[in-house]
Chains A and B, each alone.
Chain A
Amino acid sequence: MATDMQVEERTFFRRLDWNFIAVVFCLNIIGLITLYSATHGVTASSAQNRLFWLQIVYLTMGWLVFFGITLVDYRFFSRSAYVFYFLNLIALALVLVMGRSSLGARRWLELGFFRYQPSETMKLVLVFILAKILSKQTNPEGMGFWDLVIPTIVTLVPTALTVKQPDLGTGLMLIAVFATMVLFVKVRTSILAFLFVVGMVAFPLIWTFGLKPYQKNRVLTFLSPSKDPRGAGYNSLQSRIAVGSGRVFGKGFRRGTQSQMDFLPERHTDFIFSVLSEEHGFIGSMTTASLFLFLLFMCTRIAAQARDRFGVLVGVGAISILFWHIVVNISMVIGLLPVVGVPLPLLSYGGSMMITAMACLGIISSISYRKFLF
């Protein structure tokens, strides 16, 4: 028995992709260093200092989730996709009815010992259900109109509930995940052309009737933030100043004036990359961005090696969650996109994002773990 156990153990450790884990770990360390700086500024309170230690707790939980999912056969998610999906929809609906309100938005359910954010898990659940549906799709011509109906409905229902909270960022994220997966599977060119035309017509309508004033304002001030430096464009402008002022080598650890002196709002969450860029300069920001893309590259390589269609698609879905978060957040920080509340996976403070990101990476790891298993 003892020998058997040993063999089992060795295989488990051998099967893990250690390079992959090392890259994730590097990003964790970068995240913690930056978060420490962001939460220990001159103007920081002891409540802010506490966030750093909380993040270590979240990180530990994140790794437990990572290894937990690695050990679970991902096909379990295929089988239970519908159950997860409906439970999550109910949770999203409950948020609207009785969720905790914060800054005019209701996003959480108070579950006694922790706050549950259904829109966050919905990202993963949507990946499962879309992967399950799309894995049946084998038409080499690509998906036709009727093939798209069910995936679209499956996506729009939770998206609508999320946007209603209101949480535009997560809503857009769900659509981005859907779009990525559907396009990956292949859509007929005629439909793409049709959607393009519809989009061109719909955009002005959505702009006029669909967006709340503050949402419009964000887009507008993004386009010319210096018009009102204290107003809505302030965050974008201050973030750009922070990033640029880091120059090549940065101002040094805990020396970032923008981040230490409160000029950067949300610096420990959405604008953590500004802090990093300001304090560690082009070297630091480019290293981190490269690590992120290298991680995504590794994820993609693993997903491409999956044994089955569901594996490939669930991998692509997990990658798309990570990719869109990373790209949207960094683009926002460096002034390529308007300010939307999207955190940076692995770096931003926050339990929900940490668990989601580690879960996505866990799914990839699970695929990797099983690539030769069948």
Chain B
Amino acid sequence: MNEFDAPEDDPRDLVARFRYIYIILGLTLVIIFSRLWYLQIIQGDELHEYSEKNLLKETRIRAPRGLILDRDGNILVDNVLGFNATITPQYASRLVDTANVVGKILQVEPEKIIEDVRASRWKNGPFMPVIIKPNLTLDEVFRLKRIRIDQPGLNVDETVMRYYPLGPNGAQLFGYVGEVSQHEIEDYRKKYHTTKIVQQGDWIGQNGLEESLDPILRGHDGLSYTEVDAHGRESAALNKALLDLKPQPPVPGHNIVLTIDEDVQKAAMDAMLHQNDKIGPRIGALVAIKSDGEILAWVSTPSFDPNEFAQGSVNSDTWDALTKDPYKPFMDKVIQDHYSPGSTIKPVVATAALQEGVVTPYTIVSAPGKMWFGGRWYHDAERAGHGNIDIMQAIEESSNVFFYKMGIQLGIDNIAKYAKAMGLGQKTGIQVPGETPGLFPTKAWKMKTLDEPWLPGENLSNAIGQGYVLVTLLQEALAYNTIATNGTLYKPFLVKEIQNQNHHAMQEYKPQIIRDITKPNDAGVLVNKKYLAFVREGMRLVANGDKGTAHWWKIPGVIMAGKTGTSQVVSFSADQIHKNCFNRPFWLRDNGIYLAFAPVDHPEIVVGVLAEHSCWGNLGGAPVVRDVIRAYIQKYHPDWIKTKTLVGKSRPTKPILTETRITHGD
């Protein structure tokens, strides 16, 4: 081995070049050090968090929404179990294949699935499951579960869905739930000053009580953590000490007990839709209020099925039909629609006239078929007029000319003062969103808004509820309740009690009095109770007197008092006014309104009905009101109902008149 060293084998010239190797090794160490420093020290916390997220599938456990119950504890809005098909983008390694297989089973376009999943991956991140189809049938659930193992990322998630047992009945009142939109999230965050309240994918109340009571109904979602491997498979074997995260159980929302009476509510919907007469199903609204302001029934028609919305299964045809319906199914006509009250304003004007001394209860006034004022004729619905009548007869027969005269003498400001004191033309503050205030005009209002002086003739039209006056059905019901209760304006309310999930009361709500108009109050009117009694007598005659405009609809043993009203949807000439309303196109027919309370001497319930395009307040509204009051009495005072018709103290009964007479009744 010991050979001689050849001269060309002298390595000394090469040794000098080793310095380059040392430099490269040094640089390498510096680069590796810097990079490790950057990753592990500077980015360490961030990457550590990411590694935990990698491993943890954070599952939100949806808190069940609180139930909505009626006053007897019957469930009006319920929770039921449903199934959604979802795909989690992160784990869908064979998305196209999965989309094809799943699309076939669920009858969904595979392209749409792929697009949805890809879009959601960008928008919501790779771990948020994307709902492919909500509300699966059991058959679909079984078929998906069978193929789930072969399709990574596919899952069948159980969800709690909202269920509305009454269906379209009260749909506008209860509202429905829907997935929160991006702009609703921002609204919520501004409103409640927290980012935690709603998140992408949450379902929130989107209308009616579901919306306004959402903070009470919605609980706090819980979180559970499942440890998964890189393929998204759950790993029970994982050493729990790797991570220390405790699951947070969901906190259910509170239950809400409403003042609504399911039986009355059902009777109300039934009465609106199933009147066996020539008008047929009523379009409009119904509200039934207990005399202390508790709302018993609340109906708006036409309606829609909120279950389709809550289950996310509204198809575009249904949606189109609903949004294009000229009779506005989504509008809650109890409070969101205002209208000219027509003759239903007369009890309020009568109260003002009596209290202001324009007439006494015994003053006889001439009430012909028309009246000349300010250079034009003002007409009565009754071409022949009513002859010489007192104020009670004027209410009974709904004389326009009588109230034209009251209007002239009172002036609009006086009428407005009493109307507003009784709750008209202003929001009632009910806990349903979207309430419209209506309008009760004054001279100052007209000057301010229209920049025109009040014309004397407008006193006439507004005194019979035409002109500028706009009210909601709920306002009118409250005003009538004020007359019924001898002067007390109650605040209407729907929420009777808030309960925890075990149905223990947490908060109860009592009736609230806004004002008593027979005592000194903030509205500046002071009504003598005896005048209210005269008004009530007039209203009793409406429902019972032989000339009463609504006396064909009675309940044996229970005496009702009410007032009919018909309001034109467009202006007509004198001839057209007297022309048979039913000959007009449907959408030009007058709106019929009827409100009544019972029993007359100790009223418990006020029911108001707006029957759009029904031509007559009595024909359109009175039978519906009668049916609802009867349903209430049958439930709470079945003993009151007698087979024999009781009419009242002072006047005798007359046989039921022919229908031709009826059409002239208002």
Give me the interface of A with B, judged by CB distance under 8 Å.
42-43, 73, 75, 135-136, 138, 140, 184-186, 229-230, 238, 240-248, 251, 255, 257-258, 260-263, 277-278, 281-282, 285-286, 289-290, 293, 296-297, 300, 303-304, 306-313, 316, 319, 323, 327, 330, 334-336, 373-374
Which residue of A42, A136, A230, A297 is within 8 Å of B8 (Cβ)? A136
A138 to B10, CA, bound (A): 9
- Closest Cβ of chain A: how far from B234's Cβ, in Å? 11
- Closest Cβ of chain B: how far from A50's Cβ, in Å? 19
Query: Would you call A73 and B44 a contact (CB within 8 A)?
Result: no
Which residue of A42, A135, A285, A330 is within 8 Å of B40 (Cβ)? A285
Which of chain A's residues have a CB closer than 8 A to the CB of B33? 286, 289
Query: Would you call A42 and B25 a contact (CB within 8 A)?
Result: no
A115 to B24, CA, bound (A): 35
Query: Would you call B238 and A261 a contact (CB within 8 A)?
Result: yes
A374 to B6, CA, bound (A): 12
Query: Would you call B47 and A241 a contact (CB within 8 A)?
Result: yes
Query: Given A245-B44, A257-B243, is A293 in contact with B18 using a C-beta cutoff of 8 Å?
Result: no
- Closest Cβ of chain B: how far from A368's Cβ, in Å? 15
Query: Would you call A241 and B41 a contact (CB within 8 A)?
Result: no
A171 to B601, CA, bound (A): 106
- Who on chain B is nearest to A306 by CB? B11
Query: Would you call A184 and B21 a contact (CB within 8 A)?
Result: yes
Query: Would you call A247 and B11 a contact (CB within 8 A)?
Result: no
Query: Would you call A140 and B13 a contact (CB within 8 A)?
Result: yes
Query: Would you call A261 and B230 a contact (CB within 8 A)?
Result: yes
Query: Would you call B14 and A312 a contact (CB within 8 A)?
Result: yes
Query: Would you call A374 and B44 a contact (CB within 8 A)?
Result: no
Interface residue? B643 (CB, 8 A): no
Query: Would you call A242 and B13 a contact (CB within 8 A)?
Result: no
Stretch at the interface among B49-57, B435-443, B475-483: B49-57
Query: Would you call B238 and A374 a contact (CB within 8 A)?
Result: no
Interface residue? B39 (CB, 8 A): yes
Given contact pairs A243-B47, A304-B18, a sample of 20 additional A-B residue pairs in the complex whose CB atoms are under 8 Å apart: A42-B237, A42-B238, A140-B13, A230-B93, A243-B36, A245-B47, A247-B48, A258-B51, A262-B231, A263-B51, A277-B36, A282-B44, A286-B32, A289-B36, A290-B29, A296-B25, A300-B22, A307-B5, A308-B5, A335-B35
- Closest Cβ of chain A: how far from B129's Cβ, in Å? 16
Query: Would you call B51 and A245 a contact (CB within 8 A)?
Result: yes
Q: List 6 A-B contacts (CB under 8 A).
A: A260-B242, A307-B11, A323-B28, A334-B32, A334-B35, A335-B39
Query: Given A136-B8, A138-B13, A230-B93, is A255 in contact with B242 using a C-beta cutoff of 8 Å?
Result: yes
Query: Given A297-B22, A336-B35, is A244 in contact with B43 using a C-beta cutoff of 8 Å?
Result: yes
Which of chain B's residues have a CB closer than 8 A to the CB of A138? 8, 13
Query: Given A244-B46, A316-B21, is A282 in contact with B40 using a C-beta cutoff of 8 Å?
Result: yes
Query: Would you call B37 and A241 a contact (CB within 8 A)?
Result: no
- Who on chain B is nearest to A264 by CB? B230
Query: Given A257-B242, A262-B231, A330-B32, is A248 in contact with B17 using a C-beta cutoff of 8 Å?
Result: no
Query: Would you call A293 and B29 a contact (CB within 8 A)?
Result: yes
- Closest Cβ of chain B: how far from A127's Cβ, in Å? 15
- Closest Cβ of chain B: how far from A235's Cβ, in Å? 11
Query: Would you call A247 and B5 a contact (CB within 8 A)?
Result: no
Query: Would you call A304 and B15 a contact (CB within 8 A)?
Result: yes
Which of chain B's residues have a CB closer than 8 A to the CB of A241? 47, 50-51, 54
Query: Given A258-B54, A289-B33, A334-B39, is A263 in contact with B230 using a C-beta cutoff of 8 Å?
Result: yes
A119 to B24, CA, bound (A): 26
- Closest Cβ of chain A: how far from B651's Cβ, in Å? 87
- Who on chain A is nearest to B126 by CB? A229
Which residue of B25, B39, B242 is within 8 Å of A243 (Cβ)? B39
Which of chain B's residues have a CB closer than 8 A to the CB of A229? 126
- Closest Cβ of chain A: how far from B76's Cβ, in Å? 47
Which of chain B's residues have a CB closer than 8 A to the CB of A307? 5, 11
- Who on chain A is nearest to B32 by CB? A289
- Closest Cβ of chain A: how far from B535's Cβ, in Å? 77
A124 to B40, CA, bound (A): 35
- Closest Cβ of chain B: how far from A222's Cβ, in Å? 14
Query: Given A263-B55, A306-B11, is A293 in contact with B25 using a C-beta cutoff of 8 Å?
Result: yes
- Closest Cβ of chain A: how far from B118's Cβ, in Å? 12
A290 to B238, CA, bound (A): 33
- Closest Cβ of chain A: how far from B22's Cβ, in Å? 7
A43 to B239, CA, bound (A): 11
Interface residue? B372 (CB, 8 A): no
A308 to B5, CA, bound (A): 8
- Closest Cβ of chain A: how far from B89's Cβ, in Å? 9
Which of chain A's residues have a CB closer than 8 A to the CB of B384? none
- Closest Cβ of chain A: how far from B340's Cβ, in Å? 64
Interface residue? B20 (CB, 8 A): yes
Interface residue? B90 (CB, 8 A): yes
A334 to B34, CA, bound (A): 11
Query: Given A140-B13, A230-B90, is A244 in contact with B29 using a C-beta cutoff of 8 Å?
Result: no
Which residue of B28, B39, B50 is within 8 Å of A327 (Cβ)? B28
A227 to B5, CA, bound (A): 60
Which residue of B14, B43, B55, B238 is within 8 Å of A184 (Cβ)? B14
Which residue of B14, B36, B242 is within 8 Å of A282 (Cβ)? B36
A184 to B36, CA, bound (A): 29
Query: Would you call B1 and A73 a contact (CB within 8 A)?
Result: yes
Query: Would you call A308 and B35 a contact (CB within 8 A)?
Result: no
- Closest Cβ of chain A: how far from B93's Cβ, in Å? 6
Query: Would you call B21 and A248 a contact (CB within 8 A)?
Result: no
- Who on chain B is nearest to A135 by CB? B9
Which of chain A's residues have a CB closer than 8 A to the CB of B231? 262
Query: Would you call B44 and A309 a contact (CB within 8 A)?
Result: no
Q: Among residues 80 to 115 in chain B, which have CB atoms less than 8 Å away from a CB atom of chain A?
A: 90, 93
Which of chain A's residues have a CB closer than 8 A to the CB of B93? 230
Which residue of A240, A260, A293, A311 is within 8 Å of B47 (Cβ)? A240
A247 to B1, CA, bound (A): 53
Query: Would you call B14 and A300 a contact (CB within 8 A)?
Result: no
Which of chain A's residues have a CB closer than 8 A to the CB of B90? 230
A35 to B31, CA, bound (A): 25
Interface residue? B235 (CB, 8 A): yes
Which residue of A251, A289, A309 is within 8 Å of B14 (Cβ)? A309
Which of chain B's residues have a CB closer than 8 A to the CB of A286? 32-33, 36
Which of chain A's residues have a CB closer than 8 A to the CB of B46? 244
Query: Would you call A300 and B21 a contact (CB within 8 A)?
Result: yes
Which of chain A's residues have a CB closer than 8 A to the CB of B28? 293, 323, 327
A312 to B238, CA, bound (A): 52
